[in-house]
Chain A
């Protein structure tokens, strides 16, 4: 792990505690109880018949893993509850977290309220501006939102500030990373908590379709919803795993967050404690990114995705802002589902590939969150005043 020495004892403590936590029957049953009765798991696997009819004329089946139906509106709460319980298990009473779209911030604030912990959320001021409802929501839940003015004022900078806070506050504070990134053991912890998405989905698709899916499509910012759903299918070599990054305004220039499609900016590097693919300039300075969706607007990518990319087990592609907003609208119109702009990137890939989808394919899209938070951004993108 590539972390400042001042964090090393804290990371070792988290690693040791996480192992004990995993084997502790009491805490595990408490986690399962909250997932079922508070979080709303298992989330449904819904067959999007209208969307499949529109895109493929019914020659393929498309399923949506409804992570948008989680409490607080995205998959993030599953990890936040796990990390909050882990913090309590370690005897810590304060949670800090970074947030981009605000979904992880809301999820962490929610878990903190539930477990009676104090909570500070770091958020770039640009993200605060485009996710106002979530900023207000965090305040309602009793968390303090700390505006981050440094650097590009988005997710990357919020992680910097949260890490700085943690180096000062490790004694009583747990840093609940929101995505499968950061220094070890966080990518592992977040993957493990989110792997329930894949476990549920595998059982559900076998029941609904009587077979494994041809492909699973998920959007990738840091990559927690994707690694969560991929994890249960990694050994099923017949199942294509497709990660969709934020193509922003396209790959020309640097107005995007595409780390795994070859470009002059995407290179192996070290950011926030992990060795992975990182968008950077020719001097190794981390590049700022752009995406219409705040949750995908990050210069690095979880190290497990870098591994799946290197080994070829997963394929990574991208959808532009425009394509994502198009998918957003199509899901609203065909299925009556308002998806998060992040998740819309996954749907956009399927729409783009529609003509190539083979007969009798079974496609699963991980619908990682709901899009109520994005209404303003979408209206702005479409030039509508609300």
Chain B
């Protein structure tokens, strides 16, 4: 039986599209509004969801996502209601749900308990932003036990040998960062993405999803043309949520429009 990720990537590949993967921090700006955000993502054409577990000190994230995490924590997101929110998402969609988290949030609860709850709630993959494959053996074993896929990051600075090692450790998809640094919105996309993707294609046939700094349909098209099978958009959508919070309005309608335009761009032709 195919898992949700295999199904999702096969589906978009048949349509000659890249998977569109929007990101949100769980519980941002509050639990109810977060569910509305995810509904807008799904309605707008998300193929896969990437959900962040809010952490007080997200060193791999920029200011936009850190503020989102702070809003979520302040609004009461904790490790008890987090899994309830994921279960709530599962009542209206069957697309893959990836979790992006930091090591302390998992070690604090315990690997086995965390993975068991995550699998039960409907999480398909986990990426721990500050836990490289070397440190992930024990967590990886727990994830396998509960059928959760591993995701790791590769950047343009990753040497070839390490690329092979990371790709071997990956189950669901390889998270390719578009440029060195942290999450955030950029005006232009780094030209190095194409080189990184070609290097990766020589060492793996696992799906490659590009993230960090992608904010416009043009970026999505560029990344698709460079050969990505998935495009992750985070901060650009999270700042829409933030803007809505500041204006005191529901984020869904603006988000829906943005998500639709980003998804449409994933159909760009793939030029080798």
Q: Does B255 contact A (CB under 8 A)?
A: no
CB atoms of A4 and B129 under 8 A apart: yes
Within 8 A of A (CB), among B146-165: 152-155, 157-159, 162
CB atoms of B73 and A2 under 8 A apart: no
Within 8 A of B (CB), among A15-55: none
| Nearest-neighbor residue (CB-CB) of B61 within chain A | A164
CB atoms of A267 and B108 under 8 A apart: yes
CB atoms of A5 and B154 under 8 A apart: yes
Within 8 A of A (CB), among B124-181: 129-132, 134-135, 152-155, 157-159, 162, 166, 177, 180-181
If A1-B132, A9-B157, A273-B130 touch, whether A160 touches B180 (CB-CB below 8 Å) is no
Cα–Cα, bound, A59→B230 (Å): 74
CB atoms of A151 and B56 under 8 A apart: yes
Cα–Cα, bound, A150→B69 (Å): 12
Within 8 A of B (CB), among A36-95: none
If A4-B129, A5-B152, A6-B177 touch, whether A284 touches B59 (CB-CB below 8 Å) is no
B interface footprint on A140-177 (CB within 8 Å = 1, 0 otherwise): 00000000001100001100100110011010000000
**Chain B residues within an 8 Å CB radius of A10:** 157
CB atoms of B66 and A9 under 8 A apart: no
Question: Which of A167, A273, A282 counts the most B-chain CB atoms under 10 A from its CB?
Answer: A167
If A164-B62, A283-B78 touch, whether A170 touches B157 (CB-CB below 8 Å) is yes
CB atoms of B104 and A270 under 8 A apart: yes
**Chain A residues within an 8 Å CB radius of B135:** 1-2
Cα–Cα, bound, A5→B169 (Å): 13
Cα–Cα, bound, A280→B158 (Å): 32
Q: Does A8 contact B (CB under 8 A)?
A: yes
CB atoms of A9 and B159 under 8 A apart: yes
CB atoms of B132 and A5 under 8 A apart: yes
CB atoms of A285 and B55 under 8 A apart: yes
CB atoms of B181 and A269 under 8 A apart: no
Q: Does A278 contact B (CB under 8 A)?
A: yes
Q: Does B204 contact A (CB under 8 A)?
A: no
If A2-B103, A164-B181, A168-B180 touch, whether A150 touches B162 (CB-CB below 8 Å) is no
Cα–Cα, bound, A164→B56 (Å): 15
CB atoms of A284 and B130 under 8 A apart: no
In this complex, how many residues of chain A approach chain B with their Cβ under 8 Å: the count is 34
| Nearest-neighbor residue (CB-CB) of A156 within chain B | B57
If A2-B103, A2-B130, A160-B57 touch, whether A284 touches B108 (CB-CB below 8 Å) is yes
Cα–Cα, bound, A151→B66 (Å): 9
| Nearest-neighbor residue (CB-CB) of B59 within chain A | A163
- Closest chain-A Cβ to B19's Cβ sits at a distance in Å of 21
- Closest chain-A Cβ to B171's Cβ sits at a distance in Å of 16
CB atoms of B182 and A284 under 8 A apart: no
Cα–Cα, bound, A4→B103 (Å): 10
- Closest chain-A Cβ to B187's Cβ sits at a distance in Å of 15
CB atoms of A269 and B108 under 8 A apart: yes
Q: Does A234 contact B (CB under 8 A)?
A: no
Q: Does A197 contact B (CB under 8 A)?
A: no
If A9-B158, A9-B159, A270-B103 touch, whether A2 touches B131 (CB-CB below 8 Å) is yes
**Chain A residues within an 8 Å CB radius of B102:** 270
| Nearest-neighbor residue (CB-CB) of A8 within chain B | B132
**Chain A residues within an 8 Å CB radius of B78:** 282-283
CB atoms of B166 and A5 under 8 A apart: yes
Cα–Cα, bound, A271→B130 (Å): 9
- Closest chain-B Cβ to A337's Cβ sits at a distance in Å of 37
If A168-B181, A271-B104, A285-B56 touch, whether A6 touches B155 (CB-CB below 8 Å) is yes
| Nearest-neighbor residue (CB-CB) of A164 within chain B | B182
Q: Does B195 contact A (CB under 8 A)?
A: no
Shortest 8 CB-CB contacts between residues of A and residues of B: A284-B108, A168-B181, A5-B153, A4-B60, A285-B56, A270-B103, A270-B104, A9-B157
A contacts, CB < 8 Å to B: 1-6, 8-10, 150-151, 156-157, 160, 163-164, 167-168, 170, 267-273, 275, 278, 280, 282-286
Subset of 12 A-B contacts with CB under 8 Å:
A2-B132, A9-B157, A150-B63, A151-B70, A160-B58, A164-B59, A170-B180, A269-B108, A272-B59, A273-B130, A284-B79, A284-B109
What 18 new A-B contacts, CB under 8 Å, besides A4-B130, A9-B162, A275-B107?
A: A2-B131, A5-B132, A5-B155, A5-B158, A5-B177, A151-B70, A164-B59, A170-B180, A269-B104, A270-B102, A270-B103, A270-B130, A271-B57, A271-B104, A280-B108, A283-B78, A286-B56, A286-B57
